[in-house]
Structure formats: structure tokens, C-alpha cells
Structure 1
Amino acid sequence: MDDLWDNIIKLSAACRKAGEHLPNEELKALQVGKVAEEAGEAMHALHGLKGLTTCDDTHSWSEVQNDLVGAVIAALLAMHYIDPEGVRETFEEIFHRRTRRGRETTAAA
């Protein structure tokens, strides 16, 4: 997991450098928007895969996965933009809370 966070930190630095002319709050907002964009691309690919689009695009599950990974990367970058120092701890806390809820629900069923 350290390699993932190391790469997110490096990518964040490169992205921040490219956007250094923008205020920090605007960079955060734009990065959160990027998450939505990437997720939308995954949905578009899924629609193409299922033949639910009128643009004659054909898609595959690998394209859906590619766009989902893009959404994950965008989300991790957005979290890093919001709190560079505490991003790992925040992620782990939320991940534990959300997966614990799932485990508890599964155990109760």
C-alpha cells in the first residue's frame, strides 16, 4: 500500500505544479469534479458494452475497469489535495468504518 500512496503523492505534486496558478480551494474542487468525470466515463463504457448507447461505440470490460481505476486515482488525489498530511489516516479510518459496516451486516444476515 505504501507504493500506492507514494505514487499518489508524486502524482499530486505534478498535478499541483501544473495548477499552481489556481487557488488551492479551486484545485480541490476541480479534482473532486475529476472523480465524477472518470466515474461517468466508466458508466459510458458500461452503456457501450451493454449496447445502450446511440454513438456506435463498442466497449469492453477492460475499458470499464480502466475508467474505474481512473476514478479511484482521481479520488485518492482529491483526498490528498484536501488533507495532504492526514490523507492515509483518513482513508484507513473511513475504509475500516465502511467495510466494518459491511461485515456486520453480512454477519447479521
Structure 2
Amino acid sequence: MSSEQWDQVNRIREWLDANAGELTERERVMMRVLKIGEEFGEVAEALHGVYSANPRKGASHSWKDVRKELVDVAVTTLVALTTLDPEGGGKEFDARLRFLVDRVTPPERATDE
């Protein structure tokens, strides 16, 4: 991710920190990790709505709703990560992403000339 995007994630985290009320640091971490599950539930609800899986609600959501909720999951996850490690969370994410990409990217083959 770009440094601008990490700055935005950190702005959200800092705002949440400033408005966390009486939560301890440990409770703040737990609540932010649990928030990922809540956001995932919203993705599931939107996906059900796309496929009219709930007969009572019918076609209540669109693919745009699913995409929006997926972004919310991603941002919530990044906020939780930087809550655990404000200084190194972004570096850890970037390193892990590189590892995952390298794992699925075939190595360059040497060509005989």
C-alpha cells in the first residue's frame, strides 16, 4: 500500500483511539479485532441480498454493496493491525503481502542464449 493509504488508516485508528472512552489498551485491541467479524457479517448479508437468499427481504443488495462491505472489512482489518503495532503494522502487512505474492508467482526462468 502507499504511504498515503497507511496515513489514512492511521488517521482512522487515531480517531478511534481518541474516542475509545474508558477502554483499556487490551480491550481496544479486542474490540477492533471483533469488529472485523461484524464487518464480515455485513458482507454476508449483502451477498445474501444479491442472491435473494432471504425470501422475506428478496433482492435487497447489489454487487456494489458487496464491494463496499469488502472494503470495510479490509480497512477494519488494517486498523486492527495498526492498533496492535502502530509503528510496524504497515511494514508487517507489506512484508506478508510480498511473501504471499512470491509464493504464487513462478520464479523467473533463466533463458539460454
Superposition TM-score, scaled by structure 2 size: 0.86
> How does 1:1-109 map onto structure 2 within 5 Å?
1-57=2-58, 58-104=60-106
Q: Show structure 2 runs of 5+ residues with no match.
A: 107-113
Q: Distance in 2 between matches of 1:18 and 1:54?
A: 39
- 1:33-91 superposed Cα distances (whole Å, 9 cap, x missing partner): 11111111111101110111244151000100110010011000000100001011100
Identity over aligned pairs, percent: 27
Superposition TM-score, scaled by structure 1 size: 0.89
Aligned residue number for residue 107 of structure 1? none
Question: Shift in Å at residue 102 of structure 1?
Answer: 2.1
Greater fraction of residues in helix: 1
Q: Distance in 2 between matches of 1:55 and 1:30?
A: 32
1:93–1:62 CA distance, 2 compared to 1 (3 A): same
Larger Rg: 2
Q: Distance in 2 between matches of 1:81 and 1:95?
A: 19
Question: Shift in Å at residue 20 of structure 1?
Answer: 4.1
Q: Which amino acid aligns with 1:97?
A: F
1:26–1:50 CA distance, 2 compared to 1 (3 A): same
Q: Which amino acid aligns with 1:87?
A: G
